[in-house]
Structure 1
Amino acid sequence: MTHDVASFLKEHGPSRAGAIAEAWIKQGVAPATARQRMSRARGDVKRFPVSLLPKREAFLYLQGQRNHDIFWANLMRDLRATGSVYGTTIYAMRARGDFVSEADFRVICGGYAYPQRGQVTVDALTKTLVAADIIKRVNTDDRGDGFVLCPGLRQPMNERDERARYVAEGVVLDGLREWARKLGLAGFNSIAIRGDPHLKAIGPFFYDLAGPSYLLPLQRVTNKPGFLVADVFAEGTMTLDQIQYFIRKARMARSAMPEAAVLSILVAERFTGEALTAGHRAGIILATPRDLFGQRVGAAITSLVETLKNAAAYAAYSPDRLVRLVNDLTEIEGRSLNLRGVLFELLAAYLARRQFASIDVGQTARDPDTGKTADIDIQCFSNKMSDVLAIECKGKEPGGIVSLEEVETWLRKTATMRAHYAYDPRFRESKIRFELWTSGTFHPDALAKLEKEKALRIKAPIGWKNGQAVLALAREDKEKSVADTLYQHFIHHPLSEVATVAATTGLVAPLTFDPFSLDELLNPSKPKTVSPERPVLALPAPAGAGDAL
């Protein structure tokens, strides 16, 4: 039998050097001879130029095998077999979807958040995978920098499916935070989730959700908290290979933080039996939305993903489905806007459809010159594409305010959208307009900016609608169920009931809440502004309130 590297690779495909040596040794070749033959391999035998295997072990292949299916399959096999952190990162990226934002990549890559002897940091891991052409950096206007896998490893997901997954994960994280708060698993105001500016690394790793916990079993040192951490995947079945990155994080966090216990939760739509067994053996919690929130809400989250994937069809013809989603999912919303934003967008799309021949939801605009991208929430088309309206939606809590910063971000996005439309022959003769719809109100500075820009933008006019204008549109079209849902979940605020009751009982004069007072009440940390013209809600003390008991 011929024991040369080229023959082995031709028969078995690309392989790590150690596996080739082990196969030869089993056939009676001396270890020293096997190593010598490996080092002498030349000609058509190539080494992968970047070391991805532990201890800098070589991965060998024939020139003709590069970038073929067998190359990628065997590379992933050897990364998995050796427990390479690069392998667990690639599997986690495939579970997450086609595009992974830079912030999300920190979570799933398993690299250390800070330099540590003998450990790979997030930055070093990123540079290595980019240098190896395993991942590529891309930029979007909406989600910033991110990464995609190379074509040989990518599991393509269209942009609408990717957006649906990302939104659903935000909804699950909202619900998971509320669930943890209600159970007292972590500090009520200290739990941060993906997108929060105060979300920090816990020990050596980043997570989608993290917060300090004073539960007795998590306190290894008196008066020092343990931690609750979680990562979330909204869609698909997670396999044994795909959960390995989380198991690795849990084990290494335990070693790196001997003074603090960490309760680790991984949430996904489904898990394989192998994944469940391995997760439980590793001491982590594997949960589905149905496990956490019950059958009805769990099913609603699955329905949300499906609805977002086919948003245009459902927005055009299924208002009852949209209303049911709002009613089912607001149970887990909490104070975050992840869910509120997408539900408002779906309702707005339904109302916009009534005014146009057709709509599309959740499209991506690309500027061919700069490569920048921007999400278009709703596209509306008149007959023969003579009129095109791109709507940006801002779902807010009742009394919520669109800030000047949000308006400026939207105005910058319109440049990418205009370039996208200009290069598309279908829209060359179309009249292009842009509108910003919100369920709340606009800050005066934001309104001033909009008015100024409206006067300047003649070729591509802009417009806007606040919550009352959107509600009026629903009522004009006699869409009672949609109007009622908008009013109940987006427009009406419980504080208005207090004012109504107070006025009708004669405690105080009738009172109208302006956006500033609501904003201050909802955000007590902000500085207050008081003027004689602004009403203040002050109920008189009950009779005898100052009397001694």
Structure 2
Amino acid sequence: MTTIEAIVEKKKALLSGELAHLLAEANGIEINAARKRVERAKSPVHKIKGLFADNQSFVYHSSAYNSGTYFDELVQSFEKAATRCAVLLEAIDYHHGLIDKNELANYAMSPVHNIIGHMNFYTIVDKLIELNVLSDYDDNLYTLNGYISPAEPNISHFKAIQLAKKLLLQNLKTWSGHIGLGSFNAGTFDSVVAGFQFAYTAPSYLHGFVKYKDGVPQPGFLVADILIGNVTSTKSIHFFLQKLAVIRASNKGIRLLPVLIVDGLEPEAFQALRKAGVMIGSVKELFGDNYNELIKDLIATITNAGTILKKDPEKYIHLMTQLTKLVDGKTNNLKGELFELAVGYYYGQHCQFLEIGKKVVPEPWEKKRDIDVMALYQDEVRIVECKGYNYPVDVDYVDRYLGEILPAIFKWQKKTFPEKKCAFELWSTGGFTAKALEKLDEARSKTKKYSVNYLQKPDILAKAAELKTSKFSEILKEYFFKDVA
């Protein structure tokens, strides 16, 4: 007789339905009897329950646990019988191995609010973390297990795509508001309609979308998600189509205007969206050729910021000039990210090597730390924190910067560049509160292991004047300091 343990040990891991069929075939027994034997199986055969269709389990041998084969089979099992898990893995893979924790629910086909018959999104995420499929990349990002996604994520490219997504969604809000598709003032990002989260939502009062109850208008909703920076296939859009299908089935009275922003679609995906009545928001068709090229330039510049700002810094000047022309002030919420490029532009004129948006790990067991700008000189490493806000940095942040962030990054620096001195700088377009300045002045005068300095509006403009590049000074004044006293 072929035992369950023998089959599972050979296969390493498989779905319980497949195991029951193999067991029935090998021993000439009825499938129902085989299923009952599988249900009663004990160690070294183990099961993961609660995620798979038709009340199935994921069955594995203890010798295979947490191996490459185990995770390969688990992912395949998600695709076969746990689509609500598979779409989350697909979303992270689509975004090159990383996803913003606040955005992952946008790419789910599971509700963030409880709906009868559907597992809650947060329950699924907790289960995937428990299974070591999903893990923290840092405080703000999720990544996948190294067996599932072995390549190290390209954080610069991820940041570039995120910045482009923010810009596109902001312009979707403006465009849809101006033509009356959605209420401009009520539009929100990463928000919920009918229990599901979308990248952008806005109530729509268009004729055909509004219903009346006791004479009071009940709006429909513009709901939008975004997929850019990768090949967008039918697999990539599955979450969106399923999310809409569940809403329409569970909330028959709601009227939706679904939009998917894309920068390219495979033909099969295009047809699937059209069939489902989705408005396909092609970047080029919605905003024009120049805007489409601007998005491509933005992504390329941020992805390769260190090299471009060092070897071809005028590309940054051209990018910022185009941004201010084409988006007409709609990038205010991007100032923080773009300010890193401005600081990088300055240091690119002086240093030997430049990196923008670097993540470092002081010790393997410690959390990742962000370095906005790192400029290497022959005898010094200059590490710059960039705050492109129109309000002052407060003392709470300065306390964390001085007491937690700098010591952690200094630990990494001493291991990586032990022969170089270390200099920290904090650049803030909005300046600092009085108490924050007191702490920074004290640290600047008393810290001996490394130097600490800070710059605010007059200091930053003085740095720009050193370069004798009037266009750079103009960009700083018009874009970063326009709303700063």
TM over 0.5: yes
Superposed CA deviations along residues 230-268 of structure 1, whole A, max 9, x for unmatched, are: 222331112222221121211222234334322222223
Who is 2:383 aligned against?
Answer: 390
Question: Does the residue aligned with 2:218 lie in a helix, a strand or coil?
Answer: coil
Query: Partner amino acid for 1:161?
Result: H
What per-residue deviation string (whole Å, max 9, x for no partner) do you get for residues 363-385 of structure 1?
Answer: 113232761222111111211xx
2:421 maps to 1:431: yes
Give the counterpart of 1:375 among 364, 367, 370. 370
Aligned to 1:457: 447
Tell me which residue corresponds to 2:53.
54
Residue deviations 1:54-75 (CA, integer Å, cap 9, x gap)? 2321334567766666655554
CA distance in 2, matches of 1:334, 1:75: 47
Report the equivalent of 1:360: 355
- Which protein shows a greater Rg? 1
Matched, 1:202 2:196: no
Question: Within 5 Å, which residues of 2 pair with 1:34-433?
Answer: 34-40=31-37, 46-60=45-59, 72=71, 74-82=73-81, 84-140=83-139, 143=140, 146-154=141-149, 156=151, 157-194=153-190, 200-221=191-212, 223-330=217-324, 331-332=326-327, 334-368=329-363, 371-383=366-378, 386-396=379-389, 400-404=390-394, 407=398, 410-411=401-402, 412-422=404-414, 424-426=415-417, 428-433=418-423
Which moves more between the two structures, 372-381 or 411-420? 411-420
> Which letter maps to 2:180?
G
Write the deviation string for residues 40-66 of structure 1: whole angstroms up to 9, x where unpaired.
356999454344312321334567766
Whether the 8 Å contact between 2:110 and 2:121 is mirrored in structure 1 is yes
- Structure 2 segments unaligned to the other structure (5+ residues): none
Stretches of structure 1 that go unaligned for 5 or more consecutive residues are 195-199, 494-513, 516-549
TM-score (norm 1): 0.76
Alpha-carbon displacement from aligned partner over 1:341-364 (angstroms, at most 9, x marks no partner): 333321221211223222211111
- Asked whether the 8 Å contact 1:366–1:419 carries over to 2, the reply is no
Measure how far apart 1:87 and its partner are. 1.7
Q: Structure 1's 29 and 112: CA in aligned 2 closer, same or farther, altered over 3 A? A: same
Q: 2 CA distance for matches of 1:170 and 1:255?
A: 31
* Residues 261 and 83 (structure 1), Cα distance of their counterparts in 2 relative to 1, 3 Å cut: farther
Distance 1:13 1:282, change over 3 A: farther
Q: Give the direction of change, closer, same or farther, for the CA distance of 1:490–1:137 in structure 2 (3 Å limit).
A: closer
The aligned counterpart of 1:483 is: 473
Match of 1:541 in 2: none
TM-score w.r.t. the length of structure 2 is: 0.85
In structure 1, C-alpha distance between the alignment counterparts of 2:69 and 2:365, rounded to whole Å:
36
- C-alpha distance in structure 2 between counterparts of 1:37 and 1:256, whole Å: 36
TM-superposed CA distance for 1:315, in Å, is: 0.7
Give the 3 Å change call, closer, same or farther, for CA 302–465 of structure 1 in structure 2.
same
Percent same amino acid among aligned pairs? 21
Deviates more, 1:75-84 or 1:210-219: 75-84
Matched to 1:37, the amino acid is A
Count of residues in correspondence between the two structures: 476
Q: 1:84 to 1:364 in 2, by over 3 A?
A: same
SS at match of 2:114: coil
- What CA RMSD, in Å, does the superposition of the two structures yield over aligned residues? 3.4
CA contact (8 A) 2:227 2:262 kept: yes
- Is the Cα–Cα contact under 8 Å of residues 135 and 150 in structure 1 kept in the other structure? yes
Range that drifts further, 12-21 or 316-325: 12-21
What is the Cα deviation at residue 301 of structure 1?
A: 1.3
Q: Deviations over 1:8-66 (max 9, x none)?
A: 879999543435667999x9999x71232344356999454344312321334567766
Measured in 2, the distance between the counterparts of 1:469 and 1:10 equals 67
Q: What residue identity is the alignment partner of 1:271?
A: L
The structure-2 alpha-carbon separation of the partners of 1:406 and 1:291, relative to structure 1 and needing over 3 Å to count, comes to: farther
